Amino acid sequence: MDPEMDSQLKVGFIGAGNMAFGIAKGILSGNVLPVNVKVSAPSSRNLGRFQELGIAVTHSNIEVICGSDVVFVAVKPHLVPLVLNEISQHVTDRHIIVSVAAGVTLATLEELLPENSVAIRLMPNLPCVVQEGALLFARGSHAKQEDGALLRSLLHRCGLVEEGPEAWIDIHTGVYLFAEALAEGAVKMGMPSALAHSIASQTVLGAGRLLRDSGKHPAQLRSEVCTPGGTTIYGLHTLEQGGLRASTMSAVESATERARELGRKSAAGSRK
């Protein structure tokens, strides 16, 4: 997409939580100007950090929708029907509505919005704040390929941006607990806490970048660092004894099922 078009794009956020803030920081590091961004929230608690970025804030969701081309709906899943019912009569064919609410399906979004509205589901994650996010989106039935291209262009400074089928959107998990445990293990063995957490975070970041940039399978990278009889293979043996692989797979499964459960609740709420 033409960078000049990005700079003229009007972007709105309904909801001022961490995901909205992460995406806002990301798009401002690209070609979008702060003067073209507006955020709404019912209270002022989270709005100050947006103002520090030069972004206009308001308590009116309708003000955001009327002044924006792309609107990120970044509220909790149970609030999505209320928000979309409020703004629905102001949504036009020039709008792209992007929902980041966990579990709220494209079918629910399209049911709540005017006919033929352009809706997209987006799964971001918190590292968007440091432009190292992993973002996956799925287009609704009225969203064209160029709508997806526009969103990808808008978000490209947030991190990796990919499009996929909606069934993939609910599959997500995090690495924070692992990093915390890694640091606590080092503290237990005598390393100062601040240094342990610094090394743990850099270890996770470095491993992630190597995995991304090398194109190698995780198993191949693991075998490359496992010297026969060395410290790594001993540590991996302990992790396998503790069921790390099975526990991680179960965590992804549980998070996915919870997201789908939230979606079912949101859909039921929209029909009331």
Report whether 167 belongs to an annotated binding site. no
Distance separating alpha carbons of residues 118 and 114, to the nearest angstrom: 9
Report whether 46 belongs to an annotated binding site. no
Q: Which two tokens stand for residue 176?
A: 């924070």
Longest dimension (CA), the chain: 67
Phi-psi region of 94 (alpha: psi -120 to 50; beta: other; left: phi over 0): alpha
Report whether 17 belongs to an annotated binding site. yes
Report whether 15 belongs to an annotated binding site. yes
H or E segment at 97? strand 96-99
Report whether 61 belongs to an annotated binding site. yes
Distance separating alpha carbons of residues 152 and 167, to the nearest angstrom: 19
Report whether 16 belongs to an annotated binding site. yes
Report whether 249 belongs to an annotated binding site. no
Inter-axis angle of helices 231-241 and 244-270, nearest 10: 50
Beta bridge partners of 118: 96
DSSP state, residue 242:
T
Q: Contact, 120 vs 98, CB < 8 A? A: yes
Report whether 127 belongs to an annotated binding site. no
Report whether 34 belongs to an annotated binding site. no
H or E segment at 12? strand 11-14
The annotation places the binding site for NADP(+) at: 14-19, 74-77
The annotation places the binding site for NADPH at: 61
The annotation places the binding site at: 14-19, 61, 74-77
